[in-house]
Amino acid sequence: MMQPTSIELPSLIVQTRGPMHIGTGFSRGMVNRTVVKGRDGLAYIPGSTLKGKVRSACEALASLHGIGDCRAPHARQMVRHRDTCLVCRIFGAPGQGTDLRWQSARLIEEWVEGLRPNHESRAVFGQTIARTQVQLSRTRGLAAEARLFTSEFTAEGLTYEARPALIGRLRLSPVSLADAPDVYYELVLLFAGLKSVGTLGGGASRGAGECVFVLPGNVIVGGRQVPVERQLANVEALALYRDDAEAQP
């Protein structure tokens, strides 16, 4: 394993295909569940939301390839694995932080100009819709009586961008059997996880949050431009990570 290396993902574009609800946990007026907005009144995707969703995707991929050491979010099942777990090295573990910082994704300029936010009142018309729904009883498989609630969703088709999306330092483990240089297990798992995300926010079971992540052509590793596709072309190598790590000096 190498010494910590600087990593920068110059951008991440999130194209929404349907309404999305990334909630605040607070109500406003007749709306029981509001979406996250910035001081300018514009909806955005917090970096913590991106990090959590991508971590879940990476955990699933690690398990699929037989290298899923940790059982997040249960701390007792994570700490003893933190030195070898690829997921924990990228995203952190209890008692072990991460030097990678995830940036929030904001509406792209074209959408900001189209929505024309009122900066004084922070009113933005057209970026959200409200849906009144009924709470479901999962045990009975029926609608719960007297359990109507109204949720706020961002309008479908909005596009967000984080620039840069990810920046910091990361210890990298080279994929020794890769056909090209500068291929690392941590980056292979990270980008494969990013590409596998298909929804964000709540209400996915009701058809909300469908999205597509668009990655840039290159990631900057130690000041060098490295093609993202080079990492993605080696996803199957994840199954060899444990043996490769033991063979490394």
Asked whether the predicted pLDDT for residue 79 surpasses 90, the reply is: no
CB 185 within 8 A of CB 175: yes
CB 7 within 8 A of CB 167: yes
How far apart CA 249 and CA 208 sit, in angstroms, is 47
Closest by alpha carbon to 186, among 244, 103, 225? 244
Asked whether the predicted pLDDT for residue 230 surpasses 90, the reply is: yes
Asked whether the predicted pLDDT for residue 129 surpasses 70, the reply is: yes
pTM: 0.87
3-state secondary structure (DSSP) of residue 27: coil
Closest by alpha carbon to 201, among 25, 45, 58? 45
> Any alpha helices (H) in 81-217, and if so which ranges?
86-91, 109-115, 185-196
Give residue 120's pLDDT.
63
Q: Report domain extents, the chain.
A: 5-19+37-114+157-247
Q: What is the pLDDT of residues 148-200, one digit of tens each?
A: 668 899 999 999 999 999 999 999 999 998 999 999 999 999 999 999 999 99
Looking at every residue in the chain, the average pLDDT score rounds to 86
